[in-house]
Amino acid sequence: MNITVNITVKLRRQTSRHSEPTYQIFHIEADPDRTTVLDALIKIQNEQDGSIGFRRNCRNAICGSCSMRINGQSGLACQKQIGEVMGENDTELVIEPMQNLPVIKDLIVDMTKFWDNLAKVDPYVSTASRQISKTEFLQTPEQRAKLQAAANCILCGSCYSECNTAAISDRFVGPHALAKAYRIMADNRDDRTEERIQKYNESGFVWDCTRCYNCNEVCPVEVQPLDRISQIKHEILANPDLPESTAQRHRHTMVDLVKEDGWIDESKFGVRVVGDNFRDLKGLLSIFPLGIRMVLSGKMPYPWQFQKSEGAIEARALIEAIEKAKNR
Ligand code: SF4
Ligand code: SF4
Ligand code: FES
């Protein structure tokens, strides 16, 4: 049964990259369970204001063109029914452009940075050194299955729009690029796996992710970028030939300190991670001013104030049990 209700749509509008955004209110009649957000936008454009700007193409969650923020979360406008995105207490449907990319007009963003970041992971299977026949290069079902989740990506940008690291870091390539990085790395036809692992171990790639889970939450096609990032990290950590990066040292030091004292002793942490246990003088000097400021403002306990935590023995036993289980 069709139930038509009045819906208030609050649309963020912007005439150019540097203009101030404003919100415009529209009222439409629609069945919330049968009308997608994209249908609503098209209705508004056809019947009320032909000047509103948004991207769309397939209307079927395939092309990735129609990603935008809908009631505070990025997603595909053609995939979301109005009833699905409006909670019981929501009085209006708020539609905004994706974040972390500059607006060109209304809901249309400039995706240059998104594509440039994708290019940084070299997103093509390289077969230069392989003797590949001119006929098909067959993969087993198991080899193909490893690529499945990442290969689903439709490059819509929803994950990038919600990424906390992308919001504050220019160097971070983003979840979409790292999902693609894993897709190529896991492909048995690619002949540059070692080189890729080294590259993704550098700053700007997997170790910059803060594990906020937003990308997994919003991805419309179950790529689960954070899971792909974790898979790349596992490959890096399993590679004995790679020199230990600051990010890896950060991870190892956290575990070592909890094993030693049951918690993280900040005074040792900086020295071991940034100072590489007194081997990196430049790193040590770089954290010295921060250390002084922390001591002066009472944020850094003196070394003698650190006691082993009461749960240190249990914490150590837990970590050792996990390490033992992993090495089985
Ligand atoms: S990983 Fe998902 S959310 Fe990110 S670009 Fe690909 S399809 Fe879109
Ligand atoms: S989990 Fe990492 S990559 Fe995904 S949105 Fe958060 S910071 Fe970005
Ligand atoms: S219009 Fe193609 S994914 Fe929405």
pLDDT tens-place string over residues 34-58: 999 999 999 999 999 999 999 999 9
pLDDT digits (tens, 9 = 90+) for 292-319: 888 888 877 777 777 788 888 998 999 9
Cα-to-centroid distance, 61 and ligand 1 (Å): 11
Q: Are residues 261 and 160 in the same domain?
A: no
Domain termination site, one of 185, 207, 237 = 237
Instruction: Say how far apart CA 217 and CA 208 lie, in whole Å.
Output: 19
**Confidence tier at 137 by pLDDT (50, 70, 90):** confident
pLDDT surpasses 90 at 70: yes
Where a domain ends, among 109, 126, 151? Answer: 109
Residue 70 Cβ inside 6 Å of ligand 2? The answer reads no
| Assigned token pair, 307 | 């006691």
Give, to the nearest 10 degrees, the angle between helix 175-185 and helix 112-119. 30
Q: What percent of the chain has pLDDT over 90?
A: 63
**Nearest CA among 157, 166, 129 for reference residue 63:** 157
Reading the block at residue 111, the tokens are 């995706």
pLDDT category at 165 given cuts 50, 70, 90 is very high
| Range from 82-86, 158-162, 244-248 that averages highest in pLDDT | 158-162
Is any atom of ligand 3 closer than 6 Å to the C-beta of 199? no
Q: Are residues 31 and 87 in the same domain?
A: yes
Q: How many CB atoms are closer than 10 A to CB 117?
A: 23
Rounded distance between C-alpha atoms, residue 45 and residue 181, angstroms? 38
Ligand at shortest distance from the CA of 157: 1
pLDDT at 187: 93
Asked whether 262 and 312 are in contact (CB, 8 A), the reply is yes
Same domain membership, residue 119 and residue 54:
no
In ligand 3, the atom with minimum distance to the C-alpha of 61 is 3
Domain boundaries, position 282: 246-327
Do 118 and 102 share a domain, yes or no? no
pLDDT of 261: 85
Q: What's the 154 CA to ligand 3 centre distance in angstroms?
A: 10
Mean pLDDT of the chain: 91
Both 40 and 135 in one domain: the answer is no
CATH number of the domain residue 197 falls in: 1.10.1060.10
Query: Which string of DSSP letters, residue by residue, matches 150-163?
Result: HHT-----HHHHH-
Residues 201 and 278 in one domain: no
Pocket test of ligand 3: the residue of 63, 68, 158 to mutate, having most ligand atoms within 8 Å of its CB, is 63
Q: With 70 as the cut, is the pLDDT of residue 67 above it?
A: yes
Cβ of 223 less than 6 Å from ligand 2: no
What integer pLDDT is reported at residue 129 of this predicted model? Answer: 66
Which residues contact residue 62 at a Cβ distance below 8 angstroms, ignoring those fewer than 6 apart? Answer: 154
Ligand closest to 64 (CA) is: 3
Question: How far away, in angstroms, is 213 Cα from ligand 1 center?
Answer: 13
The whole-angstrom separation of Cα 91 and Cα 73 is 16
Arithmetic mean of pLDDT, 167-184: 97
- In the chain, how many domains are there? 3
163 ligand 2 Cβ < 6 A:
yes
pLDDT at 109: 98
Q: Angle at the Cα of 230 (from 309 to 68), degrees rounded to 5?
A: 115
**Ligand 1 atom closest to residue 218's alpha carbon, by position in its atom list:** 3
Take atom 7 of ligand 1 and give the residue whose Cα is closest: 153
Q: Other CB atoms closer than 10 Å to residue 174's CB: what's the count? A: 28
CA of 187 to the centre of ligand 3 (A): 27
| C-alpha to C-alpha distance for 43 and 9, rounded to whole angstroms | 11
DSSP secondary structure of 55-74: --S-SSSSS-TTEEEETTEE
At 120, the pLDDT band (50, 70, 90 cuts) reads very high
Res. 30 pLDDT band, cuts 50 70 90 = very high
CA 56, chain centre distance (Å): 23
In order, the DSSP letters of 257-299 are HHHHHSS--HHHHHHHHTSTTTT-HHHHHHHHHHHHHHHHTT-
Name the closest ligand to CA 226: 2
Q: CA 177, CA 189: separation in Å to the nearest integer?
A: 19
Q: In angstroms, what is the span from residue 98 Cα to ligand 3's centroid? A: 14
166 CA from centroid of ligand 2 (Å): 8
Atom of ligand 2 nearest to the CA of 159: 5
Between the CA of 210 and the centroid of ligand 3 the distance, in Å, is 29
Buried/exposed 25-50: b ≥16 CB within 10 Å, e otherwise: ebebebbbeebbbbbbbbbbeeeeee
Tell me the CA–centroid distance for residue 225 and ligand 1, in Å. Answer: 7
Residue 71 CB–ligand 2 contact under 6 Å? no
Q: What is the 3-state secondary structure (H, E, C) of 23-50?
A: EEEEEEEECCCCCEHHHHHHHHHHHCCC
Does 88 score more than 70 pLDDT?
A: yes
pLDDT at 205 over 90: yes
CA 150–ligand 1 middle distance (angstroms): 9
Q: What is the CA radius of gyration of the chain?
A: 25
Confidence of residue 79 (pLDDT cuts 50, 70, 90): very high
Q: What is the CATH number of the domain that holds 92?
A: 3.10.20.30
Last residue within a domain, chosen from 177, 211, 237: 237
What percent of the chain is modeled with pLDDT above 70? Answer: 98
Q: Tell me, yes or no, whether 104 and 116 share the same domain.
A: no
CB–CB of 308/261 below 8 Å? Answer: yes
